[in-house]
Structure 1
Amino acid sequence: MDISKRLGEVAALVSYPTVADIGTDHGYVPIYLHKKGKVKKALACDVRKGPLEKAKENILLYQVQDDIETRLGSGLVPVKPGEVETGVIAGMGGMLTVRILKDSPEVVASLKELILAPQHDVDEVRRYLHSIGFRIETEHMMKEDGKYYNIMRCIPGEERYPREIDYLYGAKLLMHKEPLLKEILTSEEKKYQVVEEKLIQSDTDNAKERLVQVQEKLRLMREALVCL
């Protein structure tokens, strides 16, 4: 079956034969993994009935109903501790990803890996992973249809980043001089420079407060750009 480049890269990081795909939508990731021979058992979970019904149809279409089960529920709640080795959470915001992990601590603690692709607030995801004893083994970026995506594989283990920019922009991305990150930060720096110039010209208290924030943001961006 054909899946998007983004979902293909998410699936490529899965290392264990039992998987729960959270927010499965149409069930593409578990079906693709099964067809590739990478999983023996998968749970396709979604909080919405409509997409889950579509996932059921696709599971029957590809004749994988003996190995892929659909479950209705929020986040990891439909999954029992120890039931699967891999948790996939892709295509959601970073804060929702964190909330899903927070809501099912026993399930998360039983996993051997998390494959995550948060769409924003990625720094908050990195911080939370470290707070619950997961380390980010791999992280890379990709671009599809003009949008940038972070994709990471996380495994149990203690890890802390020494610098703020490591959490903001990704220690692995900085270490490997990720060109897409450089592309984003170069563009963002220009935008913030324009804002900085306008704030400097303004004399209000609000402008002065905002200027301090913007200049700190620029400092962190430039610190990261030096690494890239």
Structure 2
Amino acid sequence: MKLSNRLQLILDHIPHGSRLADIGSDHALLPTAAVESGTCVSAIAGEVNTGPFQAAVKQVKESGLTQTVAVRLGDGLEVLKPGEVDVITISGMGGGLIASILDRGVEKLSGVSRLVLQPNVGEDILRRWLLAHQWVLINEHILEEDGKIYEVLIAEPEELRELEISNETLYKERVLDGGIVLTTEWLLRFGPYLIQRPTSVFHAKWKTEIQKLNGILQSLSKSEQVSAEEKSESIRTDIKLIEEVLICLLKDKQ
């Protein structure tokens, strides 16, 4: 089965021999490909909406995988039993929604050794959730496909990483050339790995972010409220730092 580059990147980070749960699976393309490729020994496709659920059932049946890929109708992690899977993937929705799904089903994460998450927006919200719940980001990627930019976050429980990287070291304040200070807050926003290996897609994302912030500034300039000026000053500070970081990263590549 030919997957999109986004789904293939997610599949590439599922360990061989895993028992997978793909939440919000839509047409069950990822779990089907995971089992067909031999990456996973079994998979669960979870869907909350009946239309995609029925499409997933059809996909699994046509693939001849009804014995190894289960399609379940339910909200978030409620489709799972504790200890049933060791890898969970959630993709194609906002970071806030993914964090909410994990939060509501946190008891189902016991025994899960890896999360592979692809938020469409709100990546920093998801990084904050992982940090607050003792999951360590072990890698992250950024890619562009069909004119959209996606980030894929891979995390493991902190107790499994205690001899290697920890959240404390991952989000420790860093100083770039020129004395630019990246606080924990900015590392959560930029991505602690993405900032170390900035690609053209990374630069494109943050240039677009600057454009969005400038648009907000224009809207705020029409307001006479004191709070609007305070907000504007905060945004101008953010724009300045983002611009300085991008310039610094470009110099490092030259």
- Say yes or no: TM over 0.5: yes
**Distance change in 2, residues 1:63/1:146 (3 Å):** same
Q: After superposition, give the CA deviation of every residue in 1:93-130 in whole Å (9 maximum; x if it has no partner).
A: 11110001101112123210000001111101001101
Aligned to 2:52: 51
Structure 1 counterpart of 2:186, one-letter code: I
Q: TM-score if structure 1 supplies the norm length?
A: 0.91
Q: After superposition, give the CA deviation of every residue in 1:43-75 in whole Å (9 maximum; x if it has no partner).
A: 110111221111111111010111000111111
Question: Given the alignment of the two structures, is residue 75 of structure 1 paired with residue 76 of structure 2, yes or no?
Answer: yes
**Distance change in 2, residues 1:167/1:37 (3 Å):** same
Q: Distance in 1 between matches of 2:41 and 2:234?
A: 50
RMSD: 2.1
Aligned to 2:146: 145
Aligned to 1:102: 103
**Distance change in 2, residues 1:23/1:202 (3 Å):** closer
**Distance change in 2, residues 1:202/1:30 (3 Å):** closer
Q: Distance in 1 between matches of 2:58 and 2:221?
A: 58
Q: Give the SS at the match of 2:167.
A: coil
**Distance change in 2, residues 1:138/1:201 (3 Å):** same
Q: Give the SS at the match of 2:141.
A: strand
Q: Distance in 1 between matches of 2:43 and 2:62?
A: 16
Structure 2 counterpart of 1:56, one-letter code: V
Q: Give the SS at the match of 1:120.
A: coil
1:218 corresponds to which of 232, 236, 239: 239
Give the number of the structure with larger relative contact order, counting CA–CA contacts within 8 Å between residues 6 or more apart: 1
Aligned to 1:38: 39
Q: Distance in 2 between matches of 1:20 and 1:220?
A: 39
Question: Given the alignment of the two structures, is residue 177 of structure 1 paired with residue 198 of structure 2, yes or no?
Answer: yes
1:140–1:173 CA contact under 8 A, matched in 2: yes
Question: Given the alignment of the two structures, is residue 18 of structure 1 paired with residue 39 of structure 2, yes or no?
Answer: no
Aligned to 1:116: 117
Q: Give the SS at the match of 1:173.
A: coil
Say how many residue pairs are matched.
228
Deviation at 1:165, TM superposition (A): 1.4
Deviation at 1:180, TM superposition (A): 1.1
Aligned to 1:85: 86
Q: After superposition, give the CA deviation of every residue in 1:137-168 in whole Å (9 maximum; x if it has no partner).
A: 11011101100000121111141413221101
Question: Given the alignment of the two structures, is residue 186 of structure 1 paired with residue 207 of structure 2, yes or no?
Answer: yes
Aligned-residue identity in percent: 29
**Distance change in 2, residues 1:193/1:55 (3 Å):** closer
Which consecutive unaligned segments of at least 5 residues does structure 2 have?
A: 159-165, 173-182
Deviation at 1:224, TM superposition (A): 3.5
